[in-house]
């Protein structure tokens, strides 16, 4: 098997026959010499808008390798299979408990179950079907549930997102490939295995999560919904039991995959002496544009042959602040992602088809101790103040404003060329009132720069929605090289504890925590 890179195919003529034809020319062979072709990676080269093409990386099985000339683009293929067989010697008396069923907790539980540990997954929110029903009712003006919403419930915050699977983490152990393969096994499109910017889509991701849950149960795992971690009992520096819904459960191993919004849990853990620190994060708003405008800017006239385009923007302001796009959702929706009474936060999501016609992403400004203070929970309180103010500005609905009115400091009263796609009620407001002068000026300076990168990005009709404040956790729970906290048996994991930044990186961190546990313990 050989690995062939830089196989370029026009987006206008992208099919298996064309791919084979390009391979034949590149390798200088006959088509009959090829036994099979597996796509490893597929990306888009849009550097030249008059000739946009797909770039493939493929594994080719040949009848005979003697005619192949190896070079930088043609090499022997490599094994990218995840393999882990280590098991420890210490006997684990009680079943491991995983708190949180987002991607980190779900993948940790999946592998623990696969190795016979029969984990118990504690989830404060509802199961998927009931959670989706609860959230949709809230978006349509119904009752808000502080324990089951866009942030809390089966699947975690990613359940109401784009299902983006791109990540910047390094991976020498093929954990990312394993994550993607498990997603496909449980219902995701096989395209995610090779797409350069893979995504599942929030509608598809929900079924994938349910299928993974059912597989975990079939391997001996257990899920307990509407079950909130109230307390932890620690004896001689080791976890002995936990309190869930006021019921005590014996516990030797506790995986904290709690997500970035479990503020009450962070405070309880701090009270119990678990070491943690604050960390910088970013805040801002969601911006909405015509998806066709974004796609045309990225691909030119070729955008008609391609899926809705995404973008990634970064800028350092004259004052030294970083401003960047975050969680870009092509053809998506801005959603009310609140998780607390009297506070409002927004997020973005897209279905698999990315078909809303509106692009949105967060444009966020970095903040640090100079903005909110140096005490442990000052960053959390900063988020809470912003979200309370957003709730007040929108009178309980999402506060929105056209960018031109934001520049002029006046409340909008109508829309221009961009009609927003929003899940939940919204209300015209002046978003200048959300932030300090320093954050507002940094945002405006960056938007002007982004307008030079993507034509029309800073058009006055651009719609803004606030507040985006949950870009990452403001708290980090400290762990050692074995992924364990200062309390023996407690394993902080995933995005909420400061060790991930998206679905895939969170899932990979869950696998790493599983590996650490299984390297030490065996099933009784």
Residue 296 main-chain phi, psi, to 5 deg: -65, -40
Lay out the sheet containing 34-45: strands in order across.
Answer: 34-45, 53-62, 2-10, 74-76
How confident is residue 309, by pLDDT bands cut at 50, 70 and 90? very high
Report the C-alpha dihedral over residues 200, 202, 208, 211, rounded to 10 degrees. -170
What are the structure tokens assigned to 142, written together?
A: 């119904």
Q: Is 136 exposed, middle or buried (0-12, 13-18, 19+ CB in 10 A)?
A: exposed
Parallel/antiparallel/unpaired status of strands 398-402 and 333-336: unpaired
Measured between alpha carbons, how far is 337 from 146 in angstroms, rounded to an integer?
Answer: 11
The pLDDT value recorded for residue 507 is 97
Alpha-carbon gap, residue 77 to 58, rounded angstroms:
9
Asked if 363 and 466 count as a contact pair (C-beta separation under 8 A), the reply is: no
pLDDT value at residue 161 = 84
Question: Is the pLDDT at 355 greater than 80, yes or no?
Answer: yes
Mean of pLDDT values over 146-158 = 95
* Residue 319: other Cβ atoms inside 10 A: 9
Q: 73 and 6 in contact (C-beta within 8 Å)? A: yes
- Encode pLDDT of 183-203 as tens digits: 999 999 999 999 999 999 999
How buried is 350 (Cβ within 10 angstroms: 0-12 exposed, 13-18 middle, 19+ buried)? Answer: buried
pLDDT at 34: 94
DSSP per residue over 344-408, as a string?
--EEEE--TT--SSEEEEEEEEEE-HHHH-SSTTHHHHHHHHHHHHHHHHTTTSEEEEEHHHHHH
For 34, phi then psi, to 5°, come to -90, 125
Longest Cα pair distance anywhere in the chain, in angstroms? 72
If you ran DSSP here, which 8-state letter would residue 110 be given? Answer: H
Cβ proximity of 275 and 477 under 8 Å: yes
**Does domain 90-277+475-523 fall into CATH 3.50.50.60?**
yes
Judge contact between 223 and 213, C-beta under 8 A: yes
Residues 6+ apart with CB under 8 A from 316: 322, 323
Q: Distance (Å, rounded) from C-alpha 271 to C-alpha 274?
A: 8
Percentage of the residues of the chain whose pLDDT score is greater than 70: 100
Overall average pLDDT of the 84-105 stretch: 92
Cα 221 to chain center, whole Å?
25
Q: Which pLDDT score, from 0 to 100, does residue 84 have?
A: 86
CA–CA gap between residue 510 and residue 485 (Å, rounded): 15
The distance of Cα 460 from the centroid of its chain, to the nearest Å, equals 30
> Which residues neighbour 69 within 8 Å (Cβ) at sequence distance 6 or greater?
28
Alpha carbon 159 to its chain's center: 9
Q: How confident is the model at residue 166 (pLDDT cuts 50, 70, 90)?
A: confident
CA distance 310 to 195: 14
Please give the pLDDT value at position 370: 94
Place of tokens 């929900």: 206
* Alpha helices, DSSP H, located in 99-252: 103-114, 128-139, 175-185, 202-218
- What's the token pair of residue 401? 């404003």
Banded model confidence at residue 344, pLDDT cuts 50, 70, 90: very high
Are 302 and 313 in contact by the 8 Å Cβ rule? The answer is no
pLDDT number for residue 426: 98
Determine the 3-state secondary structure of 445 from DSSP: helix
Compute the average pLDDT of residues 4-14: 95
Q: Residue 523 is inside which H or E element, if any?
A: strand 521-523
> Is-contact 291 330, C-beta < 8 A?
yes
440 neighbors 386 (Cβ within 8 angstroms) = no
User: In the structure, what pLDDT confidence band is assigned to residue 333 with cuts at 50, 70 and 90?
Assistant: very high
Strands 281-290 and 276-278: unpaired
Burial class (CB in 10 A: 0-12, 13-18, 19+), 210: middle
**Separation of CA 363 from chain center:** 16
Please check the confidence at residue 127 and state whether its pLDDT lies above 80.
yes
Once rounded to an integer, what is the mean pLDDT over residues 322-351? 97
pLDDT value at position 185? 97
Sign of CA dihedral 519, 472, 201, 257: positive
Question: For residue 524, is pLDDT > 80?
Answer: no
Provide the pLDDT for residue 58: 97
CATH 3.40.50.410 fits 2-75, yes or no: no
> Over the stretch 361-371, which tens digit does the pLDDT of each residue have?
999 999 999 99
Q: Which 3-state string (H, E, C) describes 266-318? A: HHHHHHCCCCEEECCEEEEEEEEEEHHHHHHHHHHHHHHHCCCCCCCCEEECC
pLDDT at 121 over 80: yes
pLDDT value of residue 115:
94
For 458-509, the pLDDT digits (tens) are 999 999 999 999 999 999 999 999 999 999 999 999 999 999 999 999 999 9
Q: Given CA atoms 408, 410, 411, 415 in this order, what sign does their dihedral have?
A: negative
For the chain, give the mean pLDDT. Answer: 96
Question: Is 158's pLDDT higher than 90?
Answer: no
- Cα 137 to Cα 145: distance, rounded to the nearest angstrom: 10
**218-273 confidence digits (pLDDT tens):** 999 999 999 999 999 999 999 999 999 999 999 999 999 999 999 999 999 999 99
Report domain extents, the chain: 2-75, 90-277+475-523, 280-468
CB 52 within 8 A of CB 44: yes
């Amino acid at each position: 098997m050989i690995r062939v890179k830089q196989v370029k195919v026009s987006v206008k003529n992208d099919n298996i026959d064309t791919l084979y034809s390009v391979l034949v020319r590149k390798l200088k062979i006959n088509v009959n010499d090829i036994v099979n072709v597996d796509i490893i990676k597929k990306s888009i080269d849009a550097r030249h808008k008059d000739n946009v093409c797909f770039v493939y990386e493929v594994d080719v099985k040949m009848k005979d390798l003697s005619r192949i000339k190896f070079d930088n683009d043609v090499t022997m293929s490599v094994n990218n299979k995840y393999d882990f067989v280590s098991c420890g010697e210490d006997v684990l008396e009680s079943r491991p408990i995983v708190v949180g069923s987002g991607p980190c907790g779900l993948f940790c539980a999946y592998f623990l179950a696969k190795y016979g540990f029969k984990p118990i997954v504690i989830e404060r929110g509802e199961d998927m079907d009931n959670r989706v029903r609860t959230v949709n009712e809230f978006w349509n003006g119904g009752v808000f549930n502080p324990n089951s919403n866009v942030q809390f419930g089966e699947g975690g915050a990613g359940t109401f997102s784009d299902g983006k699977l791109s990540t910047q983490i390094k991976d020498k152990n093929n954990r990312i490939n394993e994550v993607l393969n498990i997603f496909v096994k449980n219902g995701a499109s096989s395209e995610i295995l090779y797409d350069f910017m893979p995504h599942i889509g929030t509608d598809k991701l929900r079924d994938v999560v349910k299928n993974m849950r059912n597989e975990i149960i079939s391997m001996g795992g257990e899920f307990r919904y509407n079950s909130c971690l109230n307390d932890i009992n620690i004896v001689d520096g080791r976890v002995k039991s936990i309190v869930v819904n006021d019921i005590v459960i014996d516990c030797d191993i506790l995986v904290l995959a709690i997500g970035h919004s479990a503020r009450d849990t962070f405070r309880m853990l701090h009270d119990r002496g678990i070491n943690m620190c604050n960390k910088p994060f970013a805040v801002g708003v969601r911006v909405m544009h015509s998806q066709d405008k974004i796609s045309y800017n990225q691909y030119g006239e070729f955008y008609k042959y391609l899926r809705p385009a995404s973008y990634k923007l970064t800028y350092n302001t004259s004052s030294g602040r970083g401003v960047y796009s975050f969680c870009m959702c092509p053809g998506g929706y801005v959603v009310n992602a609140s998780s607390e009474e009297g506070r409002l936060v927004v997020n973005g999501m897209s279905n698999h088809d990315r078909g809303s016609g509106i692009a949105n992403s967060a444009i966020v400004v970095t903040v640090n101790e100079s903005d909110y203070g140096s005490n442990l929970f000052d960053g959390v309180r900063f988020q809470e103040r912003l979200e309370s103010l957003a709730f007040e500005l929108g009178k309980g609905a999402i506060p929105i404003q056209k960018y031109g009115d934001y520049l002029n400091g006046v409340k909008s009263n109508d829309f221009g060329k961009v009609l927003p796609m929003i899940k939940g009620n919204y209300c015209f407001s002046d978003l200048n009132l959300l932030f300090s002068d320093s954050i507002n000026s940094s945002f405006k300076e960056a938007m002007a720069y982004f307008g030079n990168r993507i034509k029309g990005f800073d058009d006055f009709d651009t719609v803004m929605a606030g507040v985006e404040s949950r870009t990452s956790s403001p708290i980090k729970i400290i762990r050692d090289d074995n992924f364990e906290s200062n309390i023996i048996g407690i394993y902080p994991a995933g995005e909420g504890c400061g060790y991930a930044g998206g679905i895939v990186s969170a899932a990979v961190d869950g696998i790493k925590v599983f590996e650490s546990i299984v390297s030490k313990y065996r099933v009784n």
